[in-house]
Chain A
Amino acid sequence: MNVRFRCNGRAVEVDVPPMSRLLDVLREELRLTGSKEGCGEGECGACTVRIDGEAVMSCLVPVCQVDGASIVTIEGLGASVVHPVQTAMLQHGGAQCGICTPGLCMSAAALLERNPHPSREEARVALAGNLCRCTGYQKVVDAVCASLAPEGS
């Protein structure tokens, strides 16, 4: 099946089986390997991308469903200017081994767009679909709550 969508602002077209996982299409067809596979069943969140703005598990999205959609992956998050959450994660030590980090950043970015000033608890709710085994989440939450002031504000 030919599937057309926008990925990180670029129009792309892939010819793949319709039920291919979006995660595989991103990693194998488009060679965007920043989205990671930690479980393959929508539990760990390492594959989180944004489809039309919403954070989703790309391992659970069949590619046929993104025909015509606009997708942002970690590679597109800070492509031109580093996203405030990435800066804050760097400063606050929110990344350790880094395997869950792209997914966390995508969930955080989706949260911050709707809620630029999240409380710590709101941040925890928004990040609860991203398992991290390194940080204990403290510094991730620190970073997300500290990235509420993008440049200029």
Chain B
Amino acid sequence: MSAPVTALFRPRTLNDALKMRAEQPGATVMAGGTDVMVYIESGTLKPTAILDLWGCSGLRWQQSITGGQFHGAGLTCTDVLRSGQSHPLLEAAAATVGAVQIQNRATLGGNICNASPAGDTLPVWLALKAEFEVASVRGRRRIPAASFWQGYKKIDLRPDELFLGILIPPLFGHTHFRKVGTRLAQSISKVVFAGRYNPGVDACLAFGAVGPTPMRCLKAETALVAGAAVDDVVQLVREEIAPIDDIRSTAVYRRQVAGNIVRRWLTSL
């Protein structure tokens, strides 16, 4: 069903995009459309104005820069998988998003800004201590991934800002990604995990689909770095996450599986 959209903006350049964003702060921002179109079809979104970034240059690139590796917001999951230059955690997450047809359209920026608590890539950004670059006509700013998701579907992006990309700093340590859904493709996460552990230095245990936002288990991380027993770390993980019963799974299952995944990973190191 087509929506009664009265205004469509299709900037070709980033500058134009930022100008349009400033003039149309109420417009729905769309890239590959894989979320927006579903919301329109189901009637949960009735946009009157659309800012379409699909054809906007300057968002779909990937490069090593000072301070780490930059991923443009417009990169699709397929771009990530084909480049061979992305972090293995990100590759693993991108490969589990929907299926090929979705991966061909779904963008990193879209996954981040859609802010579904079950978004497959979101724990990865937490685990990798990524910084998000956003911009408006007023200028640019960087936001740590950990403070970007502020509540259920609530993100730190001002009405005139656009999401430009992600900076992944150089980090060391073991990493692990695991998504648990009910099937192996076309699945929405029941639990999704991304972990990074640099013994004696730092650790990051990040989950999706176990709370209103993707989240880290800070107490468990601290205990892990301090050399706590795996069972204690697992116990803290289960205490820190806040899963609910919903149509896809139960809080009990999510809590148990989250702990099991962490235990399995840490004991396999």
Binding site for B on A (CB under 8 A): 1, 16-21, 24, 40-43, 45, 48, 54-57, 59-62, 64-65, 67, 107, 110-111, 125-126, 128-131
Chain A residues with CB under 8 Å of B41's CB are 21, 40-41, 59
Chain A residues with CB under 8 Å of B260's CB are none
A152 CB to nearest chain B CB (Å): 27
The 8 A CB mask of B121-138 against A (1 = contact, 0 = none) is 000000000000000000
Query: What would be 28 A-B contacts, judged by CB atoms less than 8 Å apart?
Result: A18-B8, A19-B3, A19-B40, A19-B47, A21-B1, A21-B41, A41-B42, A42-B34, A42-B38, A42-B101, A54-B78, A56-B101, A59-B37, A60-B102, A60-B105, A61-B37, A62-B30, A62-B33, A62-B50, A65-B33, A111-B100, A126-B100, A128-B184, A129-B98, A129-B99, A129-B185, A129-B186, A130-B99
Give the CA-CA distance A40 to B30 in the complex, in Å. 18
Closest chain A residue, CB of each to CB of B42: A41
Q: Which of A41, A56, A126 contacts B105 (CB 8 A)?
A: A56
Chain B residues with CB under 8 Å of A60's CB are 32-34, 37-38, 102, 105
Q: Is the interface of B mostly helix, strand, loop or mixed?
A: loop
Chain A residues with CB under 8 Å of B8's CB are 1, 18-19, 64
The 8 A CB mask of B18-45 against A (1 = contact, 0 = none) is 0000000000001011100110111000
Given contacts A59-B37, A60-B33, whether A129 and B2 have CB atoms under 8 Å apart is: no
Chain B residues with CB under 8 Å of A57's CB are 34, 101-102, 105
Whether the Cβ atoms of B186 and A54 lie closer than 8 Å is no
Whether the Cβ atoms of A42 and B185 lie closer than 8 Å is no
A98 CB to nearest chain B CB (Å): 19
Chain A residues with CB under 8 Å of B42's CB are 41
Whether the Cβ atoms of B52 and A41 lie closer than 8 Å is no
Q: Which residue, of A43, A126, A129, has the highest number of chain B Cβ atoms within 10 A?
A: A129
Given contacts A41-B38, A45-B101, A128-B99, whether A17 and B185 have CB atoms under 8 Å apart is: no
Give the CA-CA distance A62 to B40 in the complex, in Å. 11
Give the CA-CA distance A49 to B166 in the complex, in Å. 30
Give the CA-CA distance A64 to B30 in the complex, in Å. 12
Whether the Cβ atoms of A24 and B2 lie closer than 8 Å is yes
Closest chain B residue, CB of each to CB of A111: B100
Q: Which of B37, B99, B104 contacts A62 (CB 8 A)?
A: B37
Whether the Cβ atoms of A19 and B186 lie closer than 8 Å is no
A33 CB to nearest chain B CB (Å): 18
Binding site for A on B (CB under 8 A): 1-5, 8, 10, 30, 32-34, 37-38, 40-42, 47, 50, 52, 54-55, 78, 98-102, 104-105, 184-186
Whether the Cβ atoms of B37 and A18 lie closer than 8 Å is no
Q: Which of B4, B40, B52, B99 contacts A65 (CB 8 A)?
A: B52
Give the CA-CA distance A1 to B199 in the complex, in Å. 57
Chain A residues with CB under 8 Å of B2's CB are 16-17, 19-21, 24
Chain A residues with CB under 8 Å of B30's CB are 62
Whether the Cβ atoms of A65 and B37 lie closer than 8 Å is no
Given contacts A19-B8, A43-B186, A128-B185, whether A56 and B104 have CB atoms under 8 Å apart is: yes
Chain A residues with CB under 8 Å of B99's CB are 45, 128-130
Chain A residues with CB under 8 Å of B98's CB are 42, 129
Given contacts A128-B184, A128-B185, 16 further A-B contacts (CB under 8 A): A1-B8, A17-B2, A18-B8, A19-B3, A19-B50, A41-B42, A55-B100, A57-B105, A60-B33, A60-B34, A60-B38, A64-B52, A125-B185, A128-B186, A129-B101, A129-B102
Closest chain A residue, CB of each to CB of B4: A17
Given contacts A59-B37, A60-B33, A129-B98, whether A17 and B5 have CB atoms under 8 Å apart is: yes
Whether the Cβ atoms of A55 and B101 lie closer than 8 Å is yes
Chain B residues with CB under 8 Å of A125's CB are 100, 185
